[in-house]
Amino acid sequence: MAEILKHAVPKAEVTASLDQVRETVAGVIADIRDRGDAAVRAYSEKFDAWSPDSFRLSAGEVERIVASVPEQVIADIEFVQDQVRSFARQQLDSLGEFEVETLPGVRLGQKHIPVQAAGAYIPGGRYPLTASAHMTIVTAKVAGVPRVVACTPPIRGEIPAATVAAMHLAGADEIWLLGGVQAVAAMAVGTDTMRPVNLIAGPGNAYVAEAKRQLFGEIGIDLFAGPTEILVLADDDADPFVCAVDLLSQAEHGPDSPAVLITTSREVAERTVAEVERLLPGMPTRDYAEPAWRDHGQVHVVDSIDELYALADDFAFEHVEVLTAEPRLALERMTQYGALFLGEGTCVSFGDKVIGTNHVLPTRGAARYTGGLWVGKYLKTVTYQEVTGTDSQALLGRLCGRASRVELFEGHARSGDVRAAKAAGDPLPWNAG
């Protein structure tokens, strides 16, 4: 049985907070549907104190902003985007198109068609999250999406130049300085100045995640990517200092970011908690990391490595960092996670910023049914069929007639009857007279 050394706030408190978020988001979306650009501008002024003549950057503005970014920053952006692009291309290459003849003259096929317009949401507000531009825009372009609309908010009234550079270098076709629910809603429903997209991808705070959830169906979304989560799995060999540093690395994302430790060692658990408490006061991002750890941090001590992996799967967390003697065992034992980070040499921050895998990952239990953003999210896998053999037309026509009448679908049956009549001269008694 697991012993809980540190609890998170009760789930009821989290649910109550989400109810308020849902209500607020629904009101903003409804207003933007009704008033379009005027509502978008009003919410941008209210939430970001941002109301330029145009939220969309012109080519000249983009060029000037990119030119202001230090050369080393540009070089680093290009390096990381190369990693993301390379991995996305490997993913694309793993997807096959095929056509197969299943019966004489019966050809069935599968092909992949990119969505024609995708929205990329790159969070901002406090931090310039350039990496999200790599993950959303580069991956979309590798998939072949012809139009990518990228939105990011200003940061304290200023243009986030490095983020704009990352959006541009990633291949965005439109760059908008617009954030929050107003950006997601504008991309989804369209306004006089912004044509709608078919799919929206990218992480965000609870309001952005809820906006995507409410608009899903009208548009596609990548997945529900809310506040960042980290789960650290540790055994007796784990370094508590590393555990603490890595837990706090994700807690700094926001005050609602869960950071959880599961360990087979009570000593590792206690020393990790002590290290967190030692490190927190000196963190520049303490104002986010401290409430995240206080309200959403958890520490569990289990009796065995088997129990550790079973409990980890119950959490179904976004990031799972495996600091055990045999980290690759997690690949065999675990089935519910967004991404695994195997061994002390592999931190979650590598995945967030530089390594090349996608950092847009499922949160709040969504890892039970989906993986993270990848090139396939931007593709529609469609099928086609063609029947040219007359013997097969007759065979399938007769079978269709019988199968459809079992279900009392006479219209379907008659479509099959006609093919059998055309191919083999079968009678059509329902067409007599």
Residues 6+ apart with CB under 8 A from 63: none
| Separation CA 320–CA 340 (nearest Å) | 5
Q: CB-based burial of residue 89 (10 Å sphere; 0-12 exposed, 13-18 middle, 19+ buried)? A: middle
**Among residues 330, 105, 138, which one has the least CA distance to residue 233?**
330
Contact 152, 167 (CB under 8 A): yes
- The answer to whether residue 318 is catalytic is yes
- The answer to whether residue 319 is catalytic is yes
Helix axes 206-215, 180-189, angle to 10 degrees: 20
Hey, what amino acid is at 200?
I
Q: What is the largest CA-CA distance in the chain?
A: 92
Q: What number of CA atoms fall less than 13 Å from residue 371's CA on the CB side? A: 10
Contact 147, 117 (CB under 8 A): yes
Dihedral angle sign, alpha carbons of residues 355, 361, 364, 365: negative
Catalytic residue among 174, 229, 290, 318: 318
Contact 289, 280 (CB under 8 A): yes
**Among residues 181, 124, 152, which one has the least CA distance to residue 62?**
152
Reading the block at residue 180, the tokens are 């929050």
Hey, what amino acid is at 287?
D
Catalytic residue among 296, 319, 344, 359: 319
Residue given tokens 């531009």 in the structure block: 133
Provide the annotated active-site residues. 318-319
